[in-house]
Structure 1
């Protein structure tokens, strides 16, 4: 594809060279803008990132940023791609796709934990930047040799990435709720279980009543073990395995 055919926002995302302007070098560039925006997001959350706030942090006017970043949504895409480096090096041997997908999901979860605002970026389309495409490629390499078609592989990519994103967002919101209540996770789960045990009518909610009477909330899992996330991820991996087996049976 010729350079002039690349949409401007993709050109900036991939740092496609543009015709140099005469005169002094620009005092501002996309990399500096993105680094500053990431610092603001890490400090104040995604809500703390606007073009006006980034410009103020840099000592420029907001209008001066539009030469390098076309919109706030484009800035978010640039930020996402920026923190996506380095891309995980995942290339498991044939037959070990499960370990590869698990490592990919855990690496993505670690990225969300390092930059919690990532989970709040609206999904406006498939991965488009060089680092995000690198993440895509890493998962596709893990699925190489499974016999699945491209549609199934893309579906797995979407499923696993959305699962990591949504659990990251939920974890962040629940952590904020616990901080507001002054309780740690174990205390919050015990308080929840005890309160609902006294409210849930077994005639109206028979199975829920059994759950709250079981005492499961009295002995919550160690948060460090990330039990809920791991449990859900293994269910997804089981589903992928079933899909691979069904594909092989169909081929035979």
Structure 2
């Protein structure tokens, strides 16, 4: 006997739920979720509360529950919609690294379009159609490798986790600099001026050598949206994946 999908999963995949959840002509899941994503893009997740979504749609908050089961379900729907369809992978018949790198850059681009996505809690493995498509694209990039399924899942988890954390860190630093009305170069120079004199070479020899090198004062601000720090970190992660691929038994 075929197992029926739970209602929340059915709505995530836009399957019939077997229940009448309001009049589709006036309100449906896609319209609610699209409005919620627009509000979150403008004001963050705090701007996408059920009352604010209802107000934007000129309906009552309770009417939303005929189409979504809960606030948590709405967040899942929003995340899957915001990620959107996965990009077509670059040719990966023999070169997995360029394909995986393009996948990582595409994930980073999604976070830049929808910054609130990186702030959502991770509640489990991918469930929605778009999330599964992104997982599939990452796995497809690794198809030429000798890695087994657990290793492939581990790779895309590590790479995706790096992209997410790098985005969060970069955005928080940018917001801090903006609040202080500083650019990156000014912030680094202020940091050096404030901290360097407190770093005792006998206690922190390598940190003292770092400050003495003048690297922070000489570091220019990056204007590249995919900045040098992110690129360096991504290549470092991919170097680790390369080592795992090359050392895999049966390669």
Structure-2-length-normalised TM-score: 0.93
CA RMSD of aligned residues (A): 1.9
Deviates more, 1:93-102 or 1:149-158: 93-102
Question: Does the alignment pair 1:73 with 2:39?
Answer: no
Structure 1 residue runs without a partner (length 5+)? none
Name the structure 1 match of 2:11: 12
CA distance in 2 between partners of 1:160 and 1:139 (Å): 10
In 2, Cα distance between equivalents of 1:80 and 1:205: 44
Q: 1:122 aligns to what?
A: 121
**CA offset at residue 25 of structure 1?**
4.4
* Corresponding position of 2:188: 189
Aligned to 2:16, the other structure's residue is in SS state coil
8 A contact 2:21–2:66 mirrored in 1? no
3-state DSSP of counterpart to 1:93: coil
Q: Report if the CA contact (8 A) 2:103-2:137 is conserved.
A: yes
1:7: how far off?
1.2
1:218 aligned onto 2:207: no
Q: 1:174 to 1:18 in 2, by over 3 A?
A: same
TM-score scaled to structure 1, two decimals?
A: 0.93
Once the two structures are superposed, the pairs formed by residues 17-56 of structure 1 within 5 Å of their partners are 17-19=16-18, 21=20, 25=24, 27-56=26-55
Aligned to 1:227: 228
Specify every segment of 5 or more residues in structure 2 that has no aligned partner in the other structure, as ranges.
none
- Residue 224 of structure 1: CA displacement? 2.6
Cα deviation, 1:220-247, whole Å, max 9, x if unaligned, reads 2442341111111111111111111111
Partner of 2:241: 240
Larger displacement relative to structure 2 (86-95 or 13-22): 13-22
SS at 2:127 equivalent: coil
C-alpha separation in 2, matches of 1:25 and 1:90: 35
